[in-house]
């Protein structure tokens, strides 16, 4: 997901440099949404991993 966010950000930069402001704005919007989604999922997985490690330690004691 982060890969696609970076790709859309690069598309936005190139389109903006070439004067395609509509395409640049659209690609930038998509990149922002994908990046936020990536951050939310990354935090969720870190929390779930921490809970899983805690539960595993509890079971092994």
* Domain spans of the chain, in order of start: 2-60
Confidence of residue 16 (pLDDT cuts 50, 70, 90): very high
Confidence of residue 50 (pLDDT cuts 50, 70, 90): confident
Question: What average pLDDT score do residues 5-30 get?
Answer: 94
What's the confidence (pLDDT) of residue 52?
Answer: 83
The per-residue pLDDT of the chain, averaged, comes to 90
- Token pair of 18 as six digits: 């070439």
Half-sphere exposure of 32 (CA within 13 A, CB side): 7
What's the confidence (pLDDT) of residue 53?
Answer: 76
Taking the C-alpha atoms of residue 42 and residue 61, their distance in angstroms, rounded to an integer, is 29
Question: What average pLDDT score do residues 33-59 get?
Answer: 87
Residue 19: DSSP 8-state: T
């Amino acid at each position: 997901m982060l890969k696609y966010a970076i790709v859309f950000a690069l598309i936005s930069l190139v389109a903006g440099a070439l004067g395609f402001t509509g395409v640049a704005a659209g690609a930038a919007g998509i990149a922002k949404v994908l990046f936020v989604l990536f951050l939310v999922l990354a935090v969720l997985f870190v929390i779930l991993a921490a809970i899983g490690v805690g539960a595993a330690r509890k079971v092994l004691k």
